[in-house]
Structure 1
């Protein structure tokens, strides 16, 4: 489906339904990026549903603690926990997963909301472009270590321009994340949208490889265009344009968070209805024409293989999981 700018406007001006509610007694929920924006609002909604555990996963101790305190005041829920994770650091992601494994219990809902929007190449300690590592690599790593996820994507994926040299590259993730490619400012202009495209390709590739016997539901969710700190690096004409766009079209963070809640809680009695889907406007929506094309399918397979190779070197558990559960159901 080709998502036009007019379709975007109609979607933003449409009346949004109230938040979906459910009884989460005894269930464990993790929300990444829970200290601000739609992540915090989603955590607040979950808190009103009495989960057995609610973990606010944040990068900053001080900001996370402030969010935790506010959540308690706003909702009265007293069992929320603050856990620290830095998606720009693979070792932090692994430590987070290790801590949860030691604590035991089953993870029921993982909302991977954390992301950054940058137009600059900033290398991480792991020698990756920070946007690609935070928005895609670490998000995928955590999903594979936890085997549970709703990944927050974006409608911006519809407007990514992919050249033949990119979708035919068997090491497409390595290529788009290397210093030489990222040092060209022109290649960084669409970086956020590219990472959101990778999110959708990951969700679809993972779902294609999941045997029907594994009760895992993974989806990509578009929260819509919301007031957000995500665009705090905007400057000049881009910042002015975004200022007008927000006032004309943007949802509040609370409204955007309702889509995350819907993705996590709808069809609980019929989970097969939401497997490997792209969700927007509180329904399953067709992904972009490129994703559905033979070229998109080729990029999806290449990016999956490249991602597994990259993350397998970061944590051997990724390789073990893929070989044990995800290698024998590959879609043709």
Structure 2
């Protein structure tokens, strides 16, 4: 199988070539009419709004039997769940609390999944945010997008992997998809030469509003580059999926400034995909794609090379630094042992 690691890095300029192709020329790959998720259990973080909500609807339309919506606000989650329950009365739809700014909340969520669910087939880690100003999570000391989009997402990934391996359907791998962004291909990564790296990402003096969100997504590419060596596609298929730029989502809900919000909204109306098409990238990653997508970056519904930095000697050093610093950050849950344990039978 030819994965993202095996492909030559793209040499096409991101603007306008790659952007135009991804936004306007690529065609959705919808699941076949025979796709049937009856009996399957899915977890979607941030499942009450935007692309999380739309991807949940699409999975339920494929006869998904049990949906776990992982949300920060239980009240808002229940409102969204009520809409789904009306449309899909035969599905079991639950709302579980998950605060991605809290390591404790992530651990509580993972323990609940382990003790409450007899089976897990699909996980879509969709929760994320973007800021144009520096925000610090006081509980952890990290910059908020770095915390939510990367650190807590990777913590949840690491905690869920052995659970997915144990609770997957016999003879079938589970699917875990982390939501990414095409803009990672154009990421400048201004802090890349810092050693150690993570303190630079938390430094308000080094905060870059144009790169902050994309850097948080690029880090997941780097972590996956190494993680895939420990996880068998027979147990869990892990991939990254890009929905492209989508209008009408809540990703920029925390962007400060009315002018910035208006600009994002106007650009979305002009160039954005519909939520239905954007969410189809998630569903494609977990329902259409199989072992060939393990450890891959999916863009335009196809396996795409990673950002070119990862293939360079300098990028490989940075990738290893990201790996080592992430495992050190998450040592309180024994992250290294959990990952290495995925190799055991």
1:13 corresponds in structure 2 to 24
Q: In structure 1, what is the Cα distance between the partners aligned to 2:313 and 2:230?
A: 18
1:291 corresponds in structure 2 to 310
Return the match for 1:260 from 271, 275, 282.
Answer: 282
Structure 2 residue 245 is the aligned partner of structure 1 residue 225? yes
Which secondary structure state, in structure 2, belongs to the residue aligned with residue 218 of structure 1?
Answer: strand
1:90 corresponds in structure 2 to 103
Q: In structure 2, what is the Cα distance between the partners aligned to 1:213 and 1:288?
A: 22
1:99 corresponds in structure 2 to 112
Q: TM-score, normalised by structure 1?
A: 0.88
Q: Where does 1:26-175 land on structure 2 (aligned, <5 Å)?
A: 26-124=39-137, 125-147=139-161, 149-163=176-190, 166-167=192-193, 169=195, 171-175=196-200
Which secondary structure state, in structure 1, belongs to the residue aligned with residue 185 of structure 2?
Answer: helix
8 A Cα contact 2:65 2:90, kept in partner: no
Structure 2 unaligned runs (5+)?
A: 1-9, 165-175
1:244 corresponds in structure 2 to 266
Which secondary structure state, in structure 1, belongs to the residue aligned with residue 236 of structure 2?
Answer: coil
Shift of 1:139: 0.5
Q: In structure 2, what is the Cα distance between the partners aligned to 1:45 and 1:10?
A: 24
Q: In structure 2, what is the Cα distance between the partners aligned to 1:83 and 1:243?
A: 30
Residues 85-94 or 45-54, more deviating: 45-54
1:203 corresponds in structure 2 to 224
Describe the superposition over 1:104-134 as per-residue Cα deviations: whole angstroms up to 9, x where unpaired: 4232111000000012222221221111111
Q: In structure 2, what is the Cα distance between the partners aligned to 1:289 and 1:213?
A: 24
Structure 2 residue 345 is the aligned partner of structure 1 residue 324? no
Q: In structure 2, what is the Cα distance between the partners aligned to 1:311 and 1:142?
A: 10
State the Cα RMSD in Å: 2.2
Distance 1:304 1:242, change over 3 A: same
Shift of 1:199: 1.5
Shift of 1:243: 3.3
Which secondary structure state, in structure 2, belongs to the residue aligned with residue 208 of structure 1?
Answer: coil
Q: Which structure is higher in RCO with an 8 Å CA cutoff and minimum separation 6?
A: 2
Shift of 1:254: 1.4
Which secondary structure state, in structure 1, belongs to the residue aligned with residue 285 of structure 2?
Answer: helix
Q: In structure 1, what is the Cα distance between the partners aligned to 2:123 and 2:193?
A: 29
Describe the superposition over 1:11-38 as per-residue Cα deviations: whole angstroms up to 9, x where unpaired: 2112633631521122211011101011
Shift of 1:301: 1.1
Which secondary structure state, in structure 1, belongs to the residue aligned with residue 228 of structure 2?
Answer: helix
Describe the superposition over 1:193-216 as per-residue Cα deviations: whole angstroms up to 9, x where unpaired: 000101111222211333x48522
8 A Cα contact 1:29 1:53, kept in partner: yes
Structure 1 unaligned runs (5+)?
A: none
Q: TM-score, normalised by structure 2?
A: 0.85
Q: In structure 1, what is the Cα distance between the partners aligned to 2:193 and 2:309?
A: 10
Residues 111-120 or 228-237, more deviating: 228-237
Distance 1:79 1:120, change over 3 A: same
Structure 2 residue 236 is the aligned partner of structure 1 residue 216? yes
Q: In structure 1, what is the Cα distance between the partners aligned to 2:83 and 2:233?
A: 41
Q: In structure 2, what is the Cα distance between the partners aligned to 1:64 and 1:42?
A: 15
8 A Cα contact 2:101 2:144, kept in partner: yes
1:311 corresponds in structure 2 to 330
Describe the superposition over 1:66-117 as per-residue Cα deviations: whole angstroms up to 9, x where unpaired: 1101112234443111111000000000000011111142321110000000
Q: In structure 1, what is the Cα distance between the partners aligned to 2:54 and 2:74?
A: 18
